[in-house]
Amino acid sequence: MASSTRKRNLTQFVILIVAVVVIVAGSIAFQKWWNDRPGPDPKTVTLQVSAGNEKMDVHPYTVCEAGVECPQGQVAELKVGDNPMKISLPSDVYDHDWSLLKIYDDPAANDQMFFKGNEKKEVEIPAQSESGSRLVVVEVSSLMIGEDAQGVETPYTVVWSVNAKQ
């Protein structure tokens, strides 16, 4: 009788060990897949921009591989008036370093800001600088990983540009 109890306990122990090994292996495999999955194509990443009642998704103005001539895209236009421009970034942009360039009608008021990963998810830009200059253009720049023509992962500089209309 003691032998059958010992055998049953040993069987339960082996089943428990196998279950733990399967769970650990599954979680390691999932984590590797999660970390190695490709990010979105930089050309498809959009920012959400709004001012007052106006709202739009902005596609990249340029997507450039380092050292390659870059075709320019269409600059988005948003009617701002006296409302501040609000830019909401997707996690594919704000989860690493990015920059914001504000261009006003007086070059002395222009400003560039740099943000670390996860520092800001959205920014609000006043339609007028402290000196009274009007906002003309806002650009967000980020480095993203995409695939080149041969399917090899490569870094791209991505710029979204918004023309602030009065």
The pLDDT tens digits along the chain (166 residues) read: 567 888 888 899 899 999 999 999 999 888 888 777 677 899 999 999 999 999 999 999 999 997 788 888 899 999 999 999 999 999 999 999 999 999 999 999 999 999 999 999 999 999 999 999 999 999 999 999 998 889 888 999 999 999 999 8
Q: Diameter of the chain by CA atoms?
A: 94
Distance of CA 7 to the CA centre of its chain: 56
Report pTM. 0.79
Do 53 and 119 share a domain, yes or no? yes
Are 46 and 26 within one domain? no
50 shares its domain with 17: no
Q: Are residues 46 and 59 in the same domain?
A: yes
Same domain, 109 and 55: yes
Domain shared by 58 and 24, yes or no = no
Q: Do residues 20 and 46 both lie within one domain?
A: no
How much is the pLDDT for 33?
80
Please give the tally of structural domains in the chain.
2
Residues 65 and 127 reside in one and the same domain = yes
Q: Are residues 66 and 30 in the same domain?
A: no
Residues 33 and 48 placed together within one structural domain of the fold: no
- Tell me, yes or no, whether 101 and 136 share the same domain: yes
Verify that 19 and 67 share a domain, yes or no.
no
The domain in which residue 11 lies consists of 1-37
